[in-house]
Structure 1
Amino acid sequence: MDWNQYRFRSLWPLPAPAPDVYRALERIEDYPRWWHQVREVTRIDDTTGVIRVRSLLPYDLRTTVREGRRDPAAGVLEVAMSGDMEGWARWTVAPRGSGTVVRYDQEVVVGKPLLRRLAVPGRPLFRANHRLMMRAGRRGLAAHLNAV
């Protein structure tokens, strides 16, 4: 087992129409407005940006994200990631009842030296940190969509 490899999945039920959710998720430069753990997004060009995230634990992760798949009809947004995390992340947006369910999948290998050194003892904390970040993201997006 590679202790620096992670697979995450989160489901976000949201009380908003799927097209509105999709539009909010494709505007990565707006994430810091509604997702406080996304500290900064710097666009490089139309399909690439650098994102800096920090949740509860005292470290930042900087990752370059490159658009891989953008398919509004299928509700899919996918990026390739490099930097402190190497791998990919995908949003899948689908209608559910009068709202939407968003599925987030991510497979990454952590490259940040400190996190690699702490991989075995820190793994449960790193996974909990990710869960907290995702919970805050769901709440932030729900509030953002409600305000728009």
Structure 2
Amino acid sequence: MDRNRYRFLSRWPLPAPPAAVYTALERAEDYPRWWPQVREVTRLDDTTGVVTVRSLLPYALTFTAREVRRDPAAGVLEIAMTGDIEGWARWTVTAHGTGSLARYEQVVDVTKPLLRRFAVPGRPLFRANHRLMMRAGRRGLLRYLEAV
């Protein structure tokens, strides 16, 4: 196992139709409005942007996100990431009961020197930090979907 590689999987059951959830998730520049840990998204062009995130731990991650796949019919949004983290992330939105299930998958290698230095002792904290960020994101998206 590479101590600087992380795999994450989150599932967000949401009481909104898949099309509404997909529309919210495809507008990455709006994430800072509803997801507190997404501090900034700066679009560079139609398919690329720079993202800065920071959760509970006192460090920020900045990376360039490049769209790899945008498929509304399949409910898939996928990006490639380079910068403080390198890898990919994918949202898959499907019908679930009377609402939706937003599935988030991410596989990344950490390149930020500070995080690499603390890879072994910090791993449980880094994973917990990610869980807190995802939990806050789901809550924020719920509020956002109720408002639109």
Counterparts of 1:89-128 in structure 2, within 5 Å, are: 89-128=89-128
Name the structure 1 match of 2:130.
130
* One-letter amino acid matched to 1:62: T
Give the percent of matched residue pairs that are identical in Structure 1 and Structure 2: 75
Give the deviation of 1:98 after TM superposition: 1.0
C-alpha deviations, 1:17-70, integer Å up to 9, x for none? 100000000000000000000000000000000000000000000010000000
2:98 matches 1:75: no
* One-letter amino acid matched to 1:79: I
Unaligned stretches of 5+ residues in structure 2: none
SS of the aligned residue for 1:24 comes to helix
SS of the aligned residue for 2:58 comes to coil
Counterparts of 1:22-37 in structure 2, within 5 Å, are: 22-37=22-37
Name the structure 2 match of 1:57.
57
* One-letter amino acid matched to 2:35: W
Q: What is the Cα-based RMSD across aligned positions, in Å?
A: 0.4
> How high is the TM-score relative to the length of structure 2?
0.99
Give the deviation of 1:121 after TM superposition: 0.1
CA–CA distance in structure 1, aligned partners of residues 97 and 124 of structure 2:
35
> How high is the TM-score relative to the length of structure 1?
0.99
Name the structure 1 match of 2:2.
2
Name the structure 1 match of 2:145.
145
Unaligned stretches of 5+ residues in structure 1: none
Give the deviation of 1:97 after TM superposition: 1.3
* One-letter amino acid matched to 2:32: P
How many correspondences in the alignment? 148
